[in-house]
Structure 1
C-alpha cells in the first residue's frame, strides 16, 4: 500500500467554544427550529438501517424509537437491528479499511471532523436539535447545549488536543542520534457504546478513537438511534471513508457479545450505567487470553452527585443552582444533582421555602412547546424505576415536600420531586435515580465540617460531580480537601452540571468511571499505542566499551 506524502507541517485553526443560541421568543433561531421540528414530526417515522462498510443493511428485525412525550403516537424512527453475524462482518470490514485510514496524514483525518463540526453548526443545526428534542425529550436550551454546541466543541477541541499530543516529542538526543515518538492507533478495533442522554457523547465516543487512526464499531442507544444516525451521516458527508465507523443499532447482548469475543477487540469506549460497565469489564477479563493485546477500557458511568451548602452561603444562588442541577433535562444527566446538604437552621428559616416556591413555578410539557423547563423522562422503564424509588423513600419515612407524582397516560412525565430525609443514608441518598428527584438532608448546625464531609464521601459508591456553596475561603478549602476523592468534577458556588469542553474536562472515578476526562487531551492517550523511534546516523566503530582500553 502506498504511503501518502507529507509536504508541510500543518496547524489547525484556533478553536473556541461554539456560540450558544438562546431561542428566545420572536427570534429567527426559534422560528427555524420550530420549522425543523414540525417538518420532522410530519415525516415520522424515519427508516434507519445498519451501516456496514458504507452499505445500508436492512435486516428485517425492526424496532422503534418512540417520542417520550407521546409514547403511543408515531415513533420517531423504525430501525433495523444488527445481529452477531452482521457484527462479525462489520468488524472484518473495519479491519480491512483500517490501514488506509491510519496511513492518511494526520491533517486529512482532522479535516473530516473539523468539517463535520462546521456542518453541525450551520447546515444541520436545527435538524440535529429537532431529532434530539423529539427522540430524547430535550428542550431547545438543553438540545443546544448538547447536540449543537458540545458536539462541535468535542470535534474542534479534540482535533486540537491530538495536534498537541502528536507534537509531544523527545527533547534530548545523543550525538548523531535522532529520537522521536509515533502515536499509533490500537491494534484492532474499538467498540463504542453510547447512551441516550447526550447526542454529543455518541459523536465523541466514535470520533475520539477514529481521529487517531482507529476503526470503530458503534452501538447507539435504542433511545437515541435517529440523532446518532444523523451524526453518522454528517461524518460521511464530511468525508469519512467507508468502514471506519460501523453503525450497528440493536440489542446489546448479541452485538456486544460478538465484539468482545473477537480476537481483534482492542478497546471499549463506553458511557452508561455502572452495572453494565462492570459487567462488560468482567466479560473482557474472561476473554483476555484470546485477545491480540490488552484492551483499553474507558468508561464514564453513574453518579450520585451532591451540593454542600455552608452556613455563610448565598441562599438564593444555592437555591437556583440546585434547581438547575437537579431538574434540568429531568435529572437525566450522570452529573445531575441528587443529594443536597444544608445547615438545619438555614433550611428551616429560608432555604426550604425558597426552594419549594421556585420549583412550584416549573412547568412540564412536550419539547414542541417551548415554554417548559422540563419534559418527559426517556422511557417506560425509567418512569417505573424513578417512581418506585420515590415510593421506597416514602415507605422509609422520607417527607415528600413536592412532586412525587407522575402521569404516564400520554408521555412519561414526572413532577420535580424533593424529599427531605432524616437519615443521610436513606434509599434515595444512596441509589442512583436518573430522574427529577432531589433528596435533602438538613445537617445539624453544630456538626463539624469533617463529619458532614465524611458522610458525603462514604454514602455512595460514586464520585462524579460535587459542589460547595459558601464564602469563607478556609471552609471552602477544607471541604475541597476533605472531599478530594468524592468527585472528579468540583465546583465552588456553581451547580454540579454543565461541564464545557475546553474548560472543565469531564469524568469521575470510583463507581463513576475510569476518569479519563472527555474534552481533554488525556482521553486520546487511551486510544493510541506509542512507539519510540531511535535512529543513529553514524556507524558504531567497535563493540567494546571505552574503559576496556
Structure 2
C-alpha cells in the first residue's frame, strides 16, 4: 500500500449554492447557449466505456428527447455479453490498486469532480438533463448541478467520518483498530432516468470506499450519465474502476448477478423489478463467495394530510409543487391528498383548481413553463390510461385530464377527486402529473391517518399540515411507519443531501438513506484488528492457583 504520510482533513463541506437563471442573467445566457449548442450537435454517438476506452458494438439504440420525440439526443452502442464480461473482468483486475490508493487521493478525485460539475461542466450537464430527461432549468439545476455536487462532496465528508470511527477502549498492552474494507468482488449500479444525480451517487457511493463498479445506466438518461463518467475520468478516476455499459437492462443485469464475484447491487427503480432481482440474487447464493449487499430505493405512493387547522394557501402551493414539479416523475412526488371537508369547501378546492388550471406545460427550451413532458411513450400511455380508468370509475377530474403526444409526451397536470379512498389512483404508483384528492370528514382525522397507513404497501415520503400541535404530534405517531421521509408543514419532495437523508421502507426500498453516512456502511466489510504488545508467560488463569 502506498505510504500515508499525514492524517489529512478534507475541506469544509457545505451544500452547493443554487442559481436562479433569471431572465437577463449571465447564468440564463450561459445555459441557453449550452442548450442551443447541444441541439445543434445532436445526436451524439455514445459507446460503451471499458477500461476508459470507447467500445462500439454496432447494436445502436436511441435516447429520444421527450419534448421532441422525433429527434434523438444521442444514440448509444448497446453492450454485448462479451463487452459485459470484459467490463467485469477489467474492474476486478483494477480492484486491488483502487482499494489500496490512499484515502486522501480517492477523496481528491471526488472533490475535483464536484468542482468540475459546479463550474466547467455545469451548463453542459444541465442541458443534457433538460433535453434528454425533460427537465426545466430549475429542476435541472437542483438535480444535475447542485445535488450531484452535494453527493460527491458530502460523500468525502461522510467517508472521512466513517474511517475515523475506531474502538474507544484498549486494554493494557494492546491496540485495537478497525479497517473498513471494500466488498470482495464488484458492485453493479442500476440507475434511473429521473435524476442525473442519482446516477452519479449510485456509482459514487460504493466506489469512494474502494469498490469497483459496473454501471448500467437508464436508456433514457444515457447521455447525462455518460457525461458524469467522462467528468470522473477527467478528475483522475482510474479508468477501470467504473465500467460504463449501456444496453438491454434485463440481459446486462442478469449477466452481472450470475457472476461468482458479484458483491452488491445499488439500485433505483421500480418495486417490481427490485423484488425480482432480489429473488434472483437469493437463488444464486450458492454461486457467490459471500452474501451480496442489496441496496434499493424503489416506488412511492406519497401523501399530504391536512388538519382542519392548516393554512389553505400554503397547503395548495405545497401540493402543486410536490405533485407537478418534473411532471410528478420523482419517487417522492405527491400522489395522495387528504383534505378535511371544512378546508375543501372553504377555499382549498377553488384555489387548487384555479392554480392548476394556470400551469403551462411545454419544452425545456422555453423557460417559462413550470411543467414539461413525461419521459417517453410507455410512461405516456400508462399515465393517460390510468387517468381514463379513473374517469370510468367515477372519479371527478377537477383540473387537467388531457394529453398530447403529437410532438412531445405532454400530459396536463391533473387533479382527480375521488369518493373511494382505495380507488386506482389512490393505490397504484403512477409516476406522472396526477394528484388524487380524498375529502374526509373533519371528525375523522385519526381514522384518516389509519387509512393512509394501510392503503398502500409503500412508505417513502409523506407530509402533515396544521397549526394544532397536538394534532400534528398525534399524526406523526400514527404515521410513524408510513414514510421514511416525513415532513411537517412542508411538501413531501425536495430532500437535500446532508440535511434530509433520503429513503423509505416497506415496498419503497431498503431505507439505507442516501445523502448520509448510513449508505456507506452497506458497501464496506469491517475488519477488527487487535495487536498485542506484551507477550504472555503462562497459560494458567489466576483462579487456577491454590495459594
User: Residue 547 of structure 1: CA displacement?
Assistant: 1.2
| Alignment match, 1:429 | 426
Aligned to 1:32, which of 30, 33, 39? 30
Aligned to 1:126, which of 116, 123, 126? 123
Q: Give yes or no for contact 1:193–1:219 (8 Å, CA) kept in 2.
A: yes
CA distance in 2, matches of 1:539, 1:167: 29
Name the SS for the 2:480 alignment partner: coil
Q: Give yes or no for contact 1:332–1:435 (8 Å, CA) kept in 2.
A: yes
Aligned to 1:391, which of 388, 393, 396? 388
| Alignment pair present for 1:89 and 2:83 | no
Q: How does 1:85-484 map to 2 (within 5 A)?
A: 85-447=82-444, 449-484=445-480
Aligned to 1:62, which of 57, 60, 77? 60
User: Residue 259 of structure 1: CA displacement?
Assistant: 0.2
| Alignment match, 1:13 | 11
Aligned to 2:512, which of 516, 526, 535? 516
Name the SS for the 1:201 alignment partner: helix
User: Residue 349 of structure 1: CA displacement?
Assistant: 1.9
Q: Give yes or no for contact 1:422–1:441 (8 Å, CA) kept in 2.
A: yes
| Alignment pair present for 1:506 and 2:498 | no
Q: Report runs of 4+ in structure 1 exceeding 3 Å deviation.
A: none
Name the SS for the 2:68 alignment partner: coil
CA distance in 2, matches of 1:541, 1:398: 83
User: Residue 87 of structure 1: CA displacement?
Assistant: 1.0
CA distance in 2, matches of 1:329, 1:254: 30
Q: Deviations over 1:165-189 (max 9, x none)?
A: 0000001101000001000000000
| Alignment match, 1:493 | 489
User: Residue 304 of structure 1: CA displacement?
Assistant: 0.3
Q: Give yes or no for contact 1:61–1:80 (8 Å, CA) kept in 2.
A: yes
Q: Which ranges in structure 2 are unaligned for 5 or more consecutive residues?
A: none
Q: Which ranges in structure 1 are unaligned for 5 or more consecutive residues?
A: none
User: Residue 103 of structure 1: CA displacement?
Assistant: 0.3
| Alignment match, 2:2 | 4
CA distance in 2, matches of 1:52, 1:175: 51
User: Residue 360 of structure 1: CA displacement?
Assistant: 1.4
CA distance in 2, matches of 1:346, 1:81: 53
Name the SS for the 1:72 alignment partner: strand
Q: Give yes or no for contact 1:83–1:254 (8 Å, CA) kept in 2.
A: no
Q: Deviations over 1:474-525 (max 9, x none)?
A: 1001000000000000001100000000100000000000000000000000
Q: Give yes or no for contact 2:219–2:247 (8 Å, CA) kept in 1.
A: yes
Q: Give yes or no for contact 2:357–2:400 (8 Å, CA) kept in 1.
A: no
Aligned to 1:50, which of 43, 48, 51? 48
User: Residue 345 of structure 1: CA displacement?
Assistant: 2.1
Q: Give yes or no for contact 2:207–2:213 (8 Å, CA) kept in 1.
A: yes
CA distance in 2, matches of 1:378, 1:540: 69
Q: Give yes or no for contact 1:170–1:180 (8 Å, CA) kept in 2.
A: yes
User: Residue 254 of structure 1: CA displacement?
Assistant: 1.5
Alpha-carbon RMSD across the aligned residues, in angstroms, is: 0.6
Q: Give yes or no for contact 2:176–2:530 (8 Å, CA) kept in 1.
A: yes
**TM-score normalised over the length of structure 1:** 0.99
Name the SS for the 2:378 alignment partner: helix
Q: Deviations over 1:430-472 (max 9, x none)?
A: 000000000000001221x221101000001100000000001
CA distance in 1, matches of 2:396, 2:359: 20
CA distance in 2, matches of 1:185, 1:101: 10
